[in-house]
Structure 1
Amino acid sequence: MAATYLVLGVFIASLTITGAIKPIGVCDGRVADNLPPAPDVVGLYTSNGIGKMRLYDPDQATLQALGGTDIELILGVPNGDLQSLATPTAANVWVQNNILAFSPAVKFLYIAVGNEIKPTDPEAQFVLPAMQNIYDALVSAQLGGQIKVSTSVEPSLLGQSFPPSSGSFSATSSPYITPIIAFLANTGAPLLVNVYPYYPYISNPQDIRLDYALFSAPGPVVQDGALSYQNLFDAILDAFYSALETAGGANVGIVVSETGWPSFGNPAATVENAVTYYQNMINHVMNGTPKRPGQPIETYLFAMFDEDQKGGAETERHFGLFSPDKQPKYNLIFS
């Protein structure tokens, strides 16, 4: 396997958009007991030209290490903190301790208030109040226009996703997500969406082609009216755009806050497939989707390291782009 890692290379460019916006970032998942210290991790981002990070909690050592770098940050509010932050006083303290204490040395882009909360989760009732309170605290600190407040969701909120033009939120999720969408529309923030073509592919390989999931189909696979789809990633994103439009959020953008492909633990989770997915996605990300052509897709790869303490399927522990010893798992080149 080590020899395979060395010979399979993929060039991942740290592409730039007009205005020096960098569309590609990497998530710094830390559910592991063997990871490098925060300064080394940030140094690895910098030395590889990775211009954006998603951090799932306000880890003080990582925030300290990010100071003075050019790395732009999505900072997460852990799901377990949402209830307390539904109180304005607690939200003010959170912003003071985790944003104001490090700004402007740390370049905060978004606050992700909760990750993949479902409408039936106990925390669901606290998501929007926490978002509003954090936003209000940022406004009071004169950072409301600079740092956007959102939440990170996943495709189970969609009741219909095919064809993409018919995308809509389910009857169960609409009462939860519609007020959040109104907040995003009013504050000019994007919706953060975790998009993994890997999962629908392995759940239905009879009907979903592997090349459609890996961006390698030679031509259109799905025709949706005048729009043609050559990859599943675009189809999922455009289903979300359609759902946003239906829910009153036609002006709400999308940031892909996680995407990736595992390298081990399932017949489809191979080094070859992971390399194909990442390379083709990076080649594609500047193009936008059929519904939003020419609009570069701000995308965060999951994740920087394999995480040996993740639960669930074996694949969950094999999404890293780097091994914990900081060696590139796929011999990736970031420039």
Structure 2
Amino acid sequence: MSYFVPGRHSVIIMHWLALTTSLFIVVVAEARIGVDIGLFPDALSYDEQLLRLRNHGVSLIKTFNLDPGFLDAVERVYANAPVEVTIAIPNDRLAAAVSDPGYQNVIVQALRRRTVRWIAISNEPFHDTASRAQTRPYLIAAYNQVRQLVSSNGLATKVIIPLSEASLANTYPPQNAIFDPEIVDLVQQFVPSLPAFSINVYPFFALGGNGALLDPALGRGPNPSILSNVLDAVRAALGKVGAPGSLPIIVGETGWPTAGGPLASIDNARQYVSHAVSVARASSKVQDLYLFEAFDESWKGPAETERHFGLFYNTGAEKFPFDIATGA
């Protein structure tokens, strides 16, 4: 998860009232709902965390590294239950993915796990100046290297690159959206071979504490919500780099904090989660949507809200009732 970048997404919000119809609809099967789980256990072990997810109907899980201990726990907890896991190569390991045989072996061992179906190459590589500088020299090479590892080992794992909203520009009206000119050359190199396009969307950060925009952020009222408009902008931008209209879209992260700042509350988080699930399942705009995140992470920062995105407290207590399987 990364912060909203002022000036890159605010136009969508400023003009949301002008939009009364949804655009760029792609017909897909009902979206699947998953949950992101953080890099490190906090108060609970991986087994304890995963058991809570399983008991709440979660069978689609996305994490942010290749931790074999986490994958062992998934296999234990979901031994007799369906589960699909997305693993990831962190931004600071892209160079190793390209040139380190030892790390490449770690990748292959993770890909061979029966629960692993997707692997993400980095996370939000174009979000800000620092991440662009860190990832640009290695991103495409790492993407191609992992695709080659998948193929040469006879695997079927799907390889994606999760972006943030900061990758977009000219997002109002949504049909005018494009990829940021600074990174469009890279996007054009990987989009044609993607099995799905993954993007992280956070209406909460886009608000900047402006309560007047809370209704469209939470999906209240008659007009398209911020989330819906962003997805339309993504579809338009993809079309401008030659992606087919049938390319699935995955929302790799979306969520709302329950504490730590203005507009962060349990009730708002509950409403946003309900809205995001509704958009995913009712609009045919996305293939999968992952709620960020499973558990609060007390070690995160610098903003206090970063510690409070969990559906559960870090102790494992549920913040509000939910069941992914039933949509309740």
Normalising by structure 2, we get a TM-score of: 0.82
Instruction: Find the counterpart in structure 2 of residue 253 from structure 1.
Output: 248
Instruction: Find the counterpart in structure 1 of residue 277 from structure 2.
Output: 282
Tell me how far apart the structure 2 counterparts of residues 57 and 92 of structure 1 sit (CA, whole Å). Answer: 13
Tell me how far apart the structure 1 counterparts of residues 210 and 235 of structure 2 sit (CA, whole Å). Answer: 23
Deviation at 1:284, TM superposition (A): 2.9
Q: Deviations over 1:276-311 (max 9, x none)?
A: 1111222332122xxxxx355410000111111112
**Distance 1:204-1:330 versus aligned 2 partners, 3 A rule:** same
Tell me how far apart the structure 2 counterparts of residues 171 and 203 of structure 1 sit (CA, whole Å). Answer: 29
Aligned residues: 290
2:233 match: secondary structure: helix
Q: Which residue identity lines up with residue 307 of structure 1 in the other structure?
A: E
* 8 Å Cα contact 1:261/1:274 also seen in 2: yes
Tell me how far apart the structure 1 counterparts of residues 61 and 43 of structure 2 sit (CA, whole Å). Answer: 16
Deviation at 1:91, TM superposition (A): 6.1
Deviation at 1:321, TM superposition (A): 0.5
Tell me how far apart the structure 1 counterparts of residues 242 and 209 of structure 2 sit (CA, whole Å). Answer: 31
Q: Map 1:144-159 onto structure 2 (within 5 A).
A: 146-159=156-169
Instruction: Find the counterpart in structure 2 of residue 8 from structure 1.
Output: none
Q: Which residue identity lines up with residue 23 of structure 1 in the other structure?
A: R
* 8 Å Cα contact 1:110/1:148 also seen in 2: yes
Structure 1 or 2: larger strand share? 1
Tell me how far apart the structure 1 counterparts of residues 323 and 243 of structure 2 sit (CA, whole Å). Answer: 37
Instruction: Find the counterpart in structure 1 of residue 201 from structure 2.
Output: 195
Tell me how far apart the structure 1 counterparts of residues 117 and 108 of structure 2 sit (CA, whole Å). Answer: 16
Instruction: Find the counterpart in structure 2 of residue 115 from structure 1.
Output: 123
Deviation at 1:121, TM superposition (A): 2.1
Q: Which residue identity lines up with residue 154 of structure 1 in the other structure?
A: S
- Is 1:169 equivalent to 2:179 in the alignment? yes
Deviation at 1:326, TM superposition (A): 1.2
Greater shift, 63-72 or 162-171, is seen at: 63-72
**Distance 1:112-1:276 versus aligned 2 partners, 3 A rule:** same
Normalising by structure 1, we get a TM-score of: 0.80
- Structure 2 residues not aligned, in runs of 5+: 1-27
Q: Which residue identity lines up with residue 121 of structure 2 in the other structure?
A: V
Tell me how far apart the structure 2 counterparts of residues 319 and 30 of structure 1 sit (CA, whole Å). Answer: 14
Tell me how far apart the structure 2 counterparts of residues 182 and 285 of structure 1 sit (CA, whole Å). Answer: 24
Instruction: Find the counterpart in structure 1 of residue 17 from structure 2.
Output: none
1:299 match: secondary structure: strand
Tell me how far apart the structure 2 counterparts of residues 156 and 181 of structure 1 sit (CA, whole Å). Answer: 17
Instruction: Find the counterpart in structure 2 of residue 240 from structure 1.
Output: 234
Tell me how far apart the structure 1 counterparts of residues 180 and 167 of structure 2 sit (CA, whole Å). Answer: 6
Tell me how far apart the structure 1 counterparts of residues 102 and 198 of structure 2 sit (CA, whole Å). Answer: 24
Instruction: Find the counterpart in structure 1 of residue 6 from structure 2.
Output: none
Instruction: Find the counterpart in structure 2 of residue 65 from structure 1.
Output: 73
**Distance 1:181-1:53 versus aligned 2 partners, 3 A rule:** same
- Structure 1 residues not aligned, in runs of 5+: 1-17, 221-229, 289-293
Instruction: Find the counterpart in structure 1 of residue 313 from structure 2.
Output: 323
* 8 Å Cα contact 1:50/1:334 also seen in 2: yes
Tell me how far apart the structure 2 counterparts of residues 180 and 72 of structure 1 sit (CA, whole Å). Answer: 24
Q: Map 1:196-275 onto structure 2 (within 5 A).
A: 196-202=202-208, 209-217=213-221, 219-220=222-223, 230-250=224-244, 251-275=246-270
**Distance 1:43-1:196 versus aligned 2 partners, 3 A rule:** same
**Distance 1:66-1:31 versus aligned 2 partners, 3 A rule:** closer
**Distance 1:280-1:70 versus aligned 2 partners, 3 A rule:** same
RMSD in angstroms over aligned alpha carbons? 2.2
